[in-house]
Amino acid sequence: MIIPSETVELALAQIVEPMYFREVAHLGSGMIPDPLVAATLSFEGPLSGSFTVALTEELALSLTGEFLVEDAAVVSLDESRSMVGELTNIVCGNILGVWMPDGDFSFATPQQAQSQGNWFPYVFSLDGTNPQFAISVLFRSN
């Protein structure tokens, strides 16, 4: 099962554009440069599986600074990891909600993930050019 990339892009844009005032550009699939900050959560419902969001460390620090209204230079990596966990929860819920609006899903607590060197089916840029934000969704049979 594959979620259409247009659905993922639309759902991600619905979060990122009003929250961070950045445009989302889908770049296809591939890798994003290390080091990364990533989180994974499991979901259950009409379909079950796991959902991973990975950001370049630079983008994670920048978005965390914007979220906390602080300069990115004073944001800690731990704060960024927490923010990426919360963002994973929001992004997963919105993507599944856009894709399956009548689906009733429950979500586990996001956990920090190791995603260095991983290939991702959905890669995005928030600066218009560079791959910075990646999403992976793995389904399992119920």
CATH of the domain at 92: 3.40.1550.10
Look at residue 25 and tell me whether its pLDDT is greater than 60. yes
pLDDT at residue number 72? 82
pLDDT at residue number 114? 82
Q: CA-CA distance, 5 to 50, in Å (whole number)?
A: 17
Strand pairing report for 120-125 and 48-56: unpaired
Note whether 78 and 122 are within 8 A (CB). no
Look at residue 142 and tell me whether its pLDDT is greater than 60. no
As a whole number, mean pLDDT of residues 92-108 equals: 96
Evaluated on CA atoms 73, 74, 80, 83, the torsion sign reads: negative
Q: Out of 6-20, 41-55, 90-104, 109-123, pick the least confident.
A: 109-123
Note whether 24 and 106 are within 8 A (CB). no
Q: How many domains does the chain have?
A: 1
pLDDT at residue number 128? 84
Structural domain containing residue 100: 5-140
pLDDT in tens, 30-68: 999 999 999 999 999 999 999 999 999 999 999 999 999
| Cβ within 8 Å of residue 41, ≥6 positions away | 50, 51, 88, 89, 92, 107, 108, 109, 110, 111
Note whether 34 and 118 are within 8 A (CB). no
As a whole number, mean pLDDT of residues 84-113 equals: 96
Residue 35 CB-density burial (10 A; 0-12 exposed, 13-18 middle, 19+ buried): exposed
Note whether 91 and 11 are within 8 A (CB). yes
With cut-offs at 50, 70 and 90, classify the pLDDT of residue 141.
Answer: low
As a whole number, mean pLDDT of residues 110-139 equals: 89
How much is the mean pLDDT over the chain? 93
